[in-house]
Amino acid sequence: MRAFDYSRATSASDASEKAAGGAVFIAGGTNLLDLMKLEVMAPEALVDITRLALDELAETEGGGLRIGALVTNSDLANDPRVRRDWPVLSRALLAGASGQLRNKATTGGNLLQRTRCLYFYDRDMACNKRAPGTGCAAMEGVNRMMAILGASEKCIATHPSDMAVALMALGAEVEIRAKSGETRVVALDDLYRLPGDRPDQETTLAPGDLITAVLLPPPVAGRQTYRKVRDRASYAFALVSVAGIVAVTEGRIARADLAFGGLAPKPWRAAEVEETLVGQAPSRALFETAADVLLAEAQGHGGNDFKIPLTRRTLVSVLEELTKEDAA
């Protein structure tokens, strides 16, 4: 690890000023410290934001929930309001990492964690995300975990978060404080960029931008689940995951909010899949059609070809679970 300066932010303004000058925010550090030890990231300065007052969970006037950026993954997963009204989020959080990591990892940091592509972490290998213009070793290499949707010829890495997949299905927004002091709110989908020609540019954040909170809309009717398919039962990243909120009224699907993990460079929401389902009577044939729509543009790279049929089976199974007449 290379030497770096460390300072503790005294205010959001102080944090933003330092970040605009090149410092990197640190909170839980559960991903950043690994990246620094491997010298994949070598910031000259860290600004510790853990003393900022961003660790509250507060109900909003409209019946939603404001999740401070420093709320830990454990506290969020175990909050009674989240467990009752947004259970897909609680389940996704508990499917991620380990208990120890969840105790340290924060909401804002979880959103901004980097891919776990093994070539990204190996400085001897070509990687356009780590070193733009050097190539992508994963393209012809071990790409079992890589993306089948939304990737580019420059990068096929996946976003590793479970939490963000649930937040995407829930229609969450992100509150961002700019260096100027102005606050803006963006849809979570708009926080992330697809890799295109610049896989090193992962978000739409500007220098000095500080994520201050995530905003959940009011709870909605319907059943919720988070299904994560992975190589072992815990402490593994998703091969494919599905966050789903589905409501059936009078025999027809009234609502279908779906997001997918392990498939794309960002948590993936496909409006056309939801449109395929809404207004229709649940059936295996309908769910297969929804999978066709989701996977119409899917592209494997050899080692990850299996994700295409796996995603199909997982989506159909999740939709069957969420629309079963006797489901609790």
CA 76 to chain centre: 15
Q: Of 134, 131, 127, which is closest to residue 155 (Cα–Cα)?
A: 127
* Contacts (CB under 6 A) with ligand SF4, residues 257-296: none
Question: Which one, 136 or 243, has the nearer CB to ligand SF4?
Answer: 136
Q: The tokens of 256 are what?
A: 């279908």
137, 243, 263, 319: which one contacts ligand SF4 (CB under 6 A)?
Answer: 137
Q: Which amino acid type is present at position 284?
A: R
18, 91, 102, 129: which one contacts ligand SF4 (CB under 6 A)?
Answer: 129
Alpha-carbon distance of 238 to 224, in angstroms, equals 18
Binding status of residue 150 toward ligand SF4 by CB under 6 A? no
Sign of CA dihedral 119, 121, 125, 128: positive
What lies within 8 Å, CB to CB, of 292 at 6+ separation is: none
Question: Minimum distance between the CB of residue 137 and ligand SF4, rounded to whole angstroms?
Answer: 5
Q: The tokens of 301 are what?
A: 């790279």
The span of 64-72, 75-83, 135-143, 273-281 binding ligand SF4 (CB under 6 A) equals: 135-143
Alpha-carbon distance of 178 to 50, in angstroms, equals 18
The span of 16-24, 32-40, 128-136, 298-306 binding ligand SF4 (CB under 6 A) equals: 128-136
27, 112, 127, 258: which one contacts ligand SF4 (CB under 6 A)?
Answer: 127
Binding status of residue 238 toward ligand SF4 by CB under 6 A? no
Binding status of residue 219 toward ligand SF4 by CB under 6 A? no
Q: What angle, 0 to 180 degrees and rounded to 10, lies between the N-to-C axes of helices 307-323 and 284-295? A: 140
Q: The tokens of 249 are what?
A: 């009224």
Question: Minimum distance between the CB of residue 300 and ligand SF4, rounded to whole angstroms?
Answer: 14
Helical segments of the chain, H only: 12-20, 32-37, 73-78, 80-85, 87-94, 99-104, 107-112, 137-140, 163-170, 188-191, 271-277, 284-295, 307-323
Binding status of residue 120 toward ligand SF4 by CB under 6 A? yes
Question: Minimum distance between the CB of residue 159 and ligand SF4, rounded to whole angstroms?
Answer: 11
Instruction: Give pairs for 59-65: CB < 8 Å, separation 24+.
Output: 60/215, 62/217, 62/218, 63/218, 63/219, 64/215, 64/216, 64/217, 64/218, 65/215, 65/216
Residues that contact ligand SF4, how many (by CB under 6 A): 14
Binding status of residue 136 toward ligand SF4 by CB under 6 A? yes
* Contacts (CB under 6 A) with ligand SF4, residues 6-65: none
Q: The tokens of 153 are what?
A: 């010829």
Binding status of residue 94 toward ligand SF4 by CB under 6 A? no
Question: Which one, 104 or 198, has the nearer CB to ligand SF4?
Answer: 198
The span of 80-88, 151-159, 214-222, 312-320 binding ligand SF4 (CB under 6 A) equals: 151-159
The span of 13-21, 88-96, 103-111, 124-132 binding ligand SF4 (CB under 6 A) equals: 124-132
Summarize as ranges the residues that interact with ligand SF4 (CB under 6 A).
115, 117, 119-120, 127-129, 136-138, 155-157, 199
